[in-house]
Amino acid sequence: MNTEPHLAYVVLRVADLDRSLAFYTKAVGMQEIFRYDLGNGVTEVGVGFAPAVDSASGQGLALVHESKRSEPFEHGNAYSRFALAVPDIRATFERLAASGVEIARAPVAYPQYSATVGFVKDPDGYLIEFLQRLPKDNE
C-alpha cells in the first residue's frame, strides 16, 4: 500500500453517467475502477488507466451522478481543465474524432515546452488537455 501523499482522484459531476462512462472508457480508453452507491440516488464511479486500475493508489477520475437532479451543473469560472499524458497524441486524436468526440483544438507542437498539446470536451463540456512530451534535444 502506498503511504506517500499522492493524487487519488479528480471528481467531476456528470449529468448522464452512462454517456460519461462511454466517453471515458470507450473514447479515452480508461477502465472502470470502482462503483459506489452513495445513497439518495447518488452514484460515484471511478475510472482510470492501468496500472492505477490494479492498485490502491487511485490516480483517476471519480464521476458523480445524482439521478434526482434535472438541472445541468454549472462549471463556474474557476475550472480550467485537467490534463492526460498520452504516448501518441496524433493517434489519440484520430481515435477521439472517429468516436465523435468534440475536438476543441487539434494538437499543436510547443517545442519551448517540450510538448504537443490538444484539447477536447467531454459530454458535460469539461475541457480536457491531452499532451505528448517531446524528446529534448539531448535525448
Structural domain range at position 60: 9-66
**Of 66, 97, 115, which marks where a domain is finished?**
66
pLDDT of 6 strictly over 80: no
pLDDT of 58 strictly over 90: no
Residues 51 and 98 in one domain: no
Q: What is the mean pLDDT of residues 27-51?
A: 91
Residues 89 and 52 in one domain: no
What local confidence, expressed as pLDDT, does residue 1 receive?
Answer: 52
Question: Rounded to 5 degrees, what are φ and ψ at 102?
Answer: -75, 115
Would you say residue 105 lies in a domain? yes
Residues 18 and 61 in one domain: yes
What local confidence, expressed as pLDDT, does residue 75 receive?
Answer: 82
Would you say residue 25 lies in a domain? yes
Domain count, the chain: 2
Share of the chain above pLDDT 90, in %: 68
What local confidence, expressed as pLDDT, does residue 2 receive?
Answer: 53
105 forms bridges with which residues in the sheet? Answer: 119
User: What is the CATH classification number for the domain harbouring 38?
Assistant: 3.10.180.10
pLDDT of 5 strictly over 80: no
Q: Which amino acid, residue 21?
A: L
What local confidence, expressed as pLDDT, does residue 135 receive?
Answer: 81
CB 119 within 8 A of CB 81: yes
pLDDT, tens digit, for every residue of 105-134? 999 999 999 999 999 999 999 999 999 998
pLDDT, tens digit, for every residue of 72-103? 888 888 888 999 999 999 999 999 999 999 99
Report the C-alpha gap between 132 and 127 in whole angstroms.
Answer: 17
Average pLDDT for the chain: 87
Q: Where are the beta strands (DSSP E) in the chain?
A: 9-13, 31-39, 42-48, 60-66, 82-85, 102-110, 115-121, 127-133
| Model confidence, pTM | 0.82
Residues 54 and 16 in one domain: yes
What local confidence, expressed as pLDDT, does residue 74 receive?
Answer: 83
